Amino acid sequence: MSEFFEANREGSDIGKKALRSGSIALVARFVGAAIQLVTTMVLARLLMPNDYGLVAIITALTSFAPMLIDLGLTESTVQKPKITAAQVSSLFWISIGVACLMALILVAASPILASLYHQPALAGIASASGITLVIYSLSLQHGALLRRALRFKDIAAIEISGALCGAGVAIAMAVFEFGFWALVVRGITTALIITLGSWLRCNWKPGRPKLDTEVKSMLRFGLRMSFGTIATISSNSADRVIMGFMHSPATIGIYQNAFVLYGNALEAITQPLGKVGTSTLTKLRGDHAQFLMKYLTALSSVSFFSMPAFAILAVIAKDLVPLLLGDKWIQSGIILSIFALRGIVHVIETSQTWLHIPLGRPERWGKWAILTACVQVAAIAAGLPFDAIGVAISIVLVRSILAIPSVLYAGRPLDLRFRNLVQTVGRQFLGAIVVLVIGNLVLNYLPTEMSRISRIATVIGSCISTYLILVVGMLGLKDPLRLAYSIIK
């Protein structure tokens, strides 16, 4: 078990480890995203928007619960320079206790939720969600120890196994017409497999809790960090919670599927790199110059691929979603095309966690998260009179405006400047905007009788060619391609 409790320090091969870990995490996330996409394609044809809407209401209401259970304690385990098995045991039991409390609250509140939304089915969904939270809490510290040891290959295998098993159970239940319960049991199954896999790959066993001075210090750090996370997640879920009082579950289901498709595309890139980034950059905390250089290098490479990808998604979403999910989800395609516009700069906003957490400044993240939450709720209120599309447009506008300021605020301890960001992502952003324009022009000139697959393929080919000619050929940005070659090699 020694590798899980080694002191965090910079090694001579930290760059190679980070690249290898990031490569594994990215591949695993893309595989997971593919599994999610295929599962969504199948379930969307077997279930109705109303099924998705009912589950989406509870998912949105409880979205902050995993972070409250975590309390930032997994990051404490990853970030702390030195840690003992006894300290991790204490953090483990704290998470279990909070999870059980949250599950009891959900069970007790389930009749109230059903009454408030006038949907009796919400009572059972809320109670079942409590089971998911308890199972989820059992894997947190084991997963954190695997991250601390940079064992992202094991993490990848665990997450893919959980996704596959959850997908299989959900599809089987949908075929036998269990309705929304297919989505509920999918979450329970995925959490169970991830927990079993984490315990098998991390051979640490929790002992008796002991609240010493170090554990209390880690708890304070975790609380400061989880404050920002909870505020961020709660604000991101406020749209569906508020819409639930004004719109039918079917409308929320259409909105939810667009939101999930967008979230999967975003997380395929940002989630694995975020975990690798926070785990790796922590070891550079004492060298701000090196820290800033590594951060900007990572941001440049991620933006090179993510910005044009979301620009293309914004163009093809109206054809892509009906092709994947069926014609009853056409409205989801329109909403996804709006969300995808935010994706062009969303990776910049998301990278603030690569700065706040490894620098040990979670309180700054919390302050910014409060500001963002207030702005987001105001945006939702402004968009509500214009249905789900109006809510999506309002959110995209305000969050896109906040993307650059969020990173500049996070990078202030490193003296990160606006010109640094322009030099790092300016060419990628310009290329994405040009792709957006060219893609829409090509789409408008394509014959309407052309099949959806042909339209999508033509647009993607035109957009990729345009981006490579402009950004690589004319503007000379080639380092991300060299990095991609190294990953493939």
Mean pLDDT over each residue of the chain, to the nearest integer: 85
Confidence at residue 165, expressed as pLDDT on a 0 to 100 scale: 95
> Judging by beta carbons within 10 Å of its beta carbon (0-12, 13-18, 19+), is residue 111 exposed, middle or buried?
middle
Break the chain into its structural domains and give their ranges: 1-245, 285-489
Could you read off the pLDDT of 231-250 as tens digits, one per residue?
777 777 888 888 888 888 88
Q: How far apart are CA 69 and CA 137, in angstroms?
A: 7
The token pair that represents 239 in the structure block: 């749209």
Three-state SS letters, 390-407: HHHHHHHHHHHHHHHHHH
Cβ count near 360 (within 10 Å): 14
- Claim: this prediction has a pTM higher than 0.85: no
Could you read off the pLDDT of 50-88 as tens digits, one per residue?
999 999 889 888 887 887 788 777 877 777 777 788 888
Q: Which residues contact 2 (CB under 8 A, 6 or more apart)?
A: none
Q: CA-based angle 78:82:85, to the nearest 5?
A: 80
The token pair that represents 444 in the structure block: 């408008």
The single-letter DSSP state of residue 458 is: H
Dihedral, CA of residue 263, residue 269, residue 271 and residue 274, to nearest 10: -140
Three-state SS for 360?
A: coil
Could you read off the pLDDT of 143-181 as tens digits, one per residue?
888 888 778 888 888 989 999 999 999 999 999 999 999
Instruction: Using pLDDT thresholds of 50, 70 and 90, give the confidence band for residue 270.
Output: low
Does the pLDDT value for residue 281 go beyond 80? no
Which residue has tokens 């690589």?
Answer: 472
* Closest residue by Cα to residue 79 from 453, 308, 356: 356
Q: Which residues contact 326 (CB under 8 A, 6 or more apart)?
A: 44, 45
